[in-house]
Structure 1
Amino acid sequence: MSMINRRQLMWSGAIAALAASSGGTAAQTADPSRPRAGAANGEGSFEPGHVVDLARQLAMRPFTPPPADLPDQLANLTYDQYVGIRARQEGLLWSGQQRGFIVEPLPRGALFKDHVVLYVVADGQVQRAPYKSANYDFGALPAPPDGKDIGFSGFRIFAGNGERPVQMAIFQGATFYRAMARGQNLGTVARTLTLRPGEIKGEEIPVFRAFWLEQPALAAETLVIHALLESESVTAAVRYTVRPGDMTIVDVEVTMFTRVAIDHVGWGGHAGTFLFGPASQRNVDDVRAAVFELNGLQVSNGRGEWLWRPVVNPQQLQVSAFVDSNPKGFGLLQRERSFAAFQDDSQRFDRRPSVWVEPLSDWGEGSVQLIEIPTESDVNDNIIAYWRPKAPLAAGAETTYAYRQYWCWSIPEPPPLARVNLTRTGKGRGGRRRRFLVEFVGDALADPGRLAELKPALGAGKGATITNLKLWPYPERKVMRVAFELDPGDEPLTELRLVLEAAGKPLSETWLYRWTA
């Protein structure tokens, strides 16, 4: 069989399966004159280029949202009821095969109503993973009829070859996925593609249509996943290479096709929860000392500067842009690793992953975007970060980009500078004045010679003034605390910037903060 015929056969099978979950429109892209052998289960040969070709074909057709065809008994489940559903041993992929990974296909239900098709690729051949109700333990819930194909909403990944493999990632909902390093809890969620977040006309949410999971070799340390996603504006083929460990690494390669012109797209996006903490109290009456799974945005920009921006739970939506060219990395980090800082036995925010994104190619001009959304609940992912390219995408364009994502306790190569350890704010001496305390920690702050030369470079926006600046060095703890008072004047907001310097060179990363009335 020729290469083009093999690809067309693959498309026929894959699109037929997708059509079952998309109202049939996708099936129109298949050539009806081609043989339909294998179309029911998506069998055939596989090459990574097949998924790219499929995304290209789907981009030529209008988007049809997933149908609302989930039976009420599953659609109306509470979240707690849904997470109680577990796959039986026979429903797991590669269980007992010592391949280094086990995958648990996840049924649809509760919040997770969209249907995705799962394929397994082994020895260059692809076969659709069938849904069977008998493969799941529904507990006290009534099980759907075994002959009815409810379908999947995503999958969970376990790593290890022992008796108790460890959960390390989950792909489920829209184009979201979560991962974690060894010893951590699931927290921040990655967005494979971000479209128009924070805009008045509303965000566009792409959805996964299908996954192709490559069967790993025996005792493998890497899992490769291919995905097809789409929305009203775009389609995309994505390749994820997942390497779990003390620092879990996910390489993401995206080939995107635009149905229409797009002027606001986000790469490397991820989001997490910040309800309250030392820099953002909001008069919360809570038994816990703090509630957040991330406490700041770190940026290593193309100019060689390291930025740290503490995040807040604002009174109103806030959008910040850190303009750059070819950034070296950025990410939402959890720097607080003390249980005492949270006093939360169930959530263990001190064990949530930091996420660090490094481009694997030149990304050109654009900005790291930070969106902070007001919330009254710790279940909302109200902090979002992503890279926004400056140039818009034309209709019919093909765009490729790639990045490496670290799910970690601390970023792989931290700056050789003192870092911000704490930010606190409180009422000033009167009026609209606010008092700030910023604590830096680092080896350079233990050197008496360096401390003698140290000067804080502190500035505020137009119309604001800084008073009562004081330094509190603690060289035995490698700590420098900087206290000051901000008088914003009549301004509704002001941007603050602070860096410790010696002999005209930075000793610390740059602390940034936006004060709002």
Structure 2
Amino acid sequence: MTLADGPPAAPSRRSVLAGALAAAAGSLPAVAHAADPDKAPALPGAGEAFEANTLVDLARARAAAPYVGPKSGDVPAVLKSLSREAYAAIHPAEGRTVWADRDLGYTLEPLLRGAIFETPVSLYVVQNGLVQPIAYDKTAYVAPGLTLPDLTAETAFSGFRLRARFGGSDPLSDFALFQGASFFRLVAQGQDFGINARALALRPADARGEEFPLFRALFIETPTPGQPVVVHALAESESATAAFKLTLTPGREVSTAAIDGTVFARAELDHIGLGGMQGSYLFGPLDRNRVDDLRAAAFSVEGLAIHNGYGEPIWRPVHNPEALQVSAFLDRGPKGFGLMQRARAYDDFQDDARHWEQRPSLWLEPQDNWSEGAVTLLEIPSDSELNENVFAYWRPKAKLAKGAEMRFLCRQHWSKGWPDPLPPEIARVRDSRCGHGASGTRRLFAVDFEGAALFEPGDIDVDLGASAGAITRQERFRYPDRKTLRILFELDPGSERASELRLALRRGQNRISETWLYRWTP
């Protein structure tokens, strides 16, 4: 991550987190695209050259101009009044997606605006180094029970969906989705969309109110068969502009996004969120006490994994609190972090509709020096599994001065398994459970560690502590057949309303497990 001098201008307000839901639609590329109405430098027009620095230079120039937000209140009534189900039922007509007539291994489906997604986004294809705007054609869509309105390219779209052939002669299936604020998401083969990534976040859960940068234009390079898709994204808000180059590679087990981002400050930025990711958590084995639900669990995110710059692997199960919880894990030069879905069996959830076991984990690795800062975790109270109420991001310690710019590089891994790499001598947390204790407000915890190293010669020391209250009981149970060691312990919180719990396994001076961290609250 690098800081440099650059250009100016203003701030805004808004509150906590918004989610993005998948939808479907499509269109064909065409010509004719009106100039951007903002007074800021215009977006490229049809036939203009698109080079390596085109978008970065445009974002820098627009950061020096007054901010003019998109018009989002002009969605036609026929689209604005749609239910989620009716909106999701809109889909491309046969053979009418971008690249449908070319054997590229990908198709591109422009998504219409609607009740949930009101912000217009300009869409472009870049072919042979030249810009080709995507035009709206209502005959390119099937919309059950609806007569689609006539729209312009500037007012029609809210984002796009990519479908990919994950290998060989595989059929095309969902791969990537860009829609809502600066949200995007990927999947590996056979997965359902789950965690949302955010290209840029400003002041998440800040008392001053959150500011949401919005994708204003998306430029998709026409791919070569068998090669990644490259997406260039322009994002803007009152306090910043940003340019992103995302190189997207589909995979059977892991799909990746290599990200090269540059942020330009219109105003001083003292709370930036990089590598943001969010998902849903309604309930699980740690917090069933307030739940009346026949399912075993309901979440797309089980926990936050961190490999910090000091060599410590951390596992922090998430939960659904009664009040907003903010946790900051101070670090320098993080190796990686991610929101992980370690539960991979149907029996972990027993949900016949949502199949949470099919949602991806998202692991992020910085590709340059992210210096000092904190992996920050927000856990927001929720009464719906549709709310993406768990949000994690990197917050740099350094401020970005008005007129300055910052570049950062990272790689995201969207995986069916556990892409957070651990050496074989380190056991990972397989499961965490909580229930009532012996009496009163006491709580009983069970944490299962899994790994062959747990059953090698030598005694294992349990490093267990609580920031408040007292640990009144501690036991261990060995299960060599499944390479699992369970640590059972009881917390007596007394009159305390919160306690930070910490658990790790050692053999002498050697770490042999992840560090399990959890914030207990009533």
Structure-2 residue corresponding to 1:112? 117
How far the C-alpha of 1:150 sits from its partner, in A, is: 4.1
User: What CA distance in whole angstroms lies between the structure 1 residues aligned with 2:363 and 2:375?
Assistant: 13
Q: 1:459 aligns with which of 432, 457, 465?
A: 465
- For residues 232 and 147 of structure 1, the distance between their equivalents in structure 2, rounded to whole angstroms, comes to 25
Query: Which whole-Å CA distance do the structure 2 matches of 1:331 and 1:470 have between them?
Result: 30
CA–CA distance in 2 between the matches of 1:455 and 1:412?
Answer: 25
Do the aligned residues in 1 keep the contact of 2:160 with 2:178 (CA within 8 Å)? yes
Segment of structure 1 superposing worse, 301-310 or 115-124: 115-124
The correspondence for 1:44, drawn from 35, 48, 52, is 48
Cα distance, 1:325 vs structure 2: 0.2
Shift of 1:126: 1.1
- Secondary structure in structure 2 of the residue aligned to 1:45: coil
CA contact (8 A) 2:302 2:317 kept: yes
Tell me the SS of whatever aligns to 1:44: coil
SS at match of 2:481: helix
1:72 to 67, 70, 77: 77
Would the aligned equivalents of 2:34 and 2:154 in 1 still touch at CA under 8 Å? no
Greater helix share, structure number: 1
CA RMSD of aligned residues (A): 1.8
Deviations 1:325-376, CA, capped at 9 Å, x for gaps: 0000000000001101211111110111000000000000000000000000
Q: Are 1:18 and 1:210, in contact at CA under 8 Å, matched by a contact in 2? A: no
Q: Does 2:157 align with 1:157?
A: no
Q: 1:437 aligns with which of 430, 441, 446?
A: 446
Unaligned 5+ runs, structure 2: 1-30
Distance 2:69 2:250 in 1: 33
Q: Percent identity?
A: 45
Q: Answer whether contact 1:224 1:239 (CA < 8 A) is retained.
A: yes
Question: Within 5 A, what are the aligned runs for 1:35-184?
Answer: 41-67=45-71, 68-145=73-150, 150-160=155-165, 162=169, 164-184=171-191
The 1:148/1:239 distance shift into structure 2, 3 A limit, reads closer
Q: Go from structure 1 to structure 2 and tell me whether the alpha carbon gap of 1:279 and 1:235 turns closer, same or farther (over 3 Å shift).
A: same
Q: 1:273 & 1:434 partners in 2: Cα distance?
A: 25
Note if 1:395 corresponds to 2:399.
Answer: no
Deviations 1:29-81 (A, max 9, x none): 35xxxxxxxx8953211102111111011111222222111111111111111
1:111–1:146: structure 2 CA closer, same or farther, 3 Å change rule?
closer
1:390-413 CA-partner distances (Å, limit 9, x unpaired): 111111111100100000022152
Cα distance in 2 for residues equivalent to 1:491 and 1:287: 31
Q: Residue in 2 aligned with 1:10? A: none
The superposition leaves residues 453-483 of structure 1 with CA deviations (integer Å, 9 ceiling, x where unpaired) of 111011111x422121111111222111111
Give distance in 2, aligned partners of 1:201 and 1:362.
Answer: 29
- 3-state SS, counterpart of residue 29 of structure 1: coil
Matched length: 485
Distance 2:199 2:44 in 1: 28
Per-residue CA deviation, residues 398-447 of structure 1 (Å, 9 max, x unaligned), is 11001000000221523431111111111122232211111111111233
CA shift in 2, pair 1:137/1:510, >3 Å: same
1:207-246 correspondence runs (5 A):
207-217=214-224, 219-245=225-251, 246=253
Take 2:420 and 2:299, find their aligned partners in 1: how far apart are those partners?
A: 22
Contact 2:121 2:154 in 1 (8 A): no
Does residue 1:411 correspond to 2:437, yes or no? no
**Aligned residues of 1:446 and 1:477 also touching (Cα < 8 A):** no
Q: Tell me which residue corresponds to 1:423.
A: 432
After superposing the two structures, state which structure 1 stretch, 369-378 or 435-444, moved more.
435-444
Preserved CA contact (<8 Å) 2:134 2:153: no
d(CA) in 2 for partners of 1:412, 1:473: 25
Secondary structure of 2:374's aligned partner? strand
Residues 278-315 of structure 1 show CA distances to partners (whole Å, capped at 9, x for unaligned) of: 00114211221110111110000001110000000001
| 1:193-204 correspondence to structure 2 within 5 Å | 193-204=200-211
Tell me, what secondary structure is at the counterpart of 2:139?
helix
1:343 aligned onto 2:355? no
Task: Show the 5 A alignment for 1:318-397.
Answer: 318-397=325-404
Q: How many Å separate the matches in 1 of 2:338 and 2:44?
A: 42
- AA matched with 1:322: F
Q: Return the alpha-carbon distance in structure 1 between the equivalents of residues 300 and 40 of structure 2.
A: 44
Query: 2:13 aligns to what?
Result: none
2:74 aligned counterpart, secondary structure: coil
2-structure distance, mates of 1:155, 1:338: 31
In structure 2, the partner of 1:36 is none
Match of 1:482 in 2: 487
Moved more, 118-127 or 264-273: 118-127
Higher-RCO chain (CA-CA 8 Å, sequence separation at least 6):
2
Q: Which residue of 2 aligns with 1:11?
A: none
Aligned amino acid, residue 411 of structure 1:
P
Does the CA-based 8 Å contact 1:17-1:42 persist in structure 2? no
CA–CA distance in structure 1, aligned partners of residues 65 and 49 of structure 2? 25
Q: Distance in 2 between matches of 1:516 and 1:94?
A: 52
Amino acid at match of 1:230: E
Between 426-435 and 386-395, report the one with greater CA deviation: 426-435
1:35 alignment counterpart: none
- SS of 1:91's equivalent? coil
The answer to whether 1:506 aligns with 2:518 is: no
SS at match of 2:53: helix
2:497 to 492, 500, 513: 492
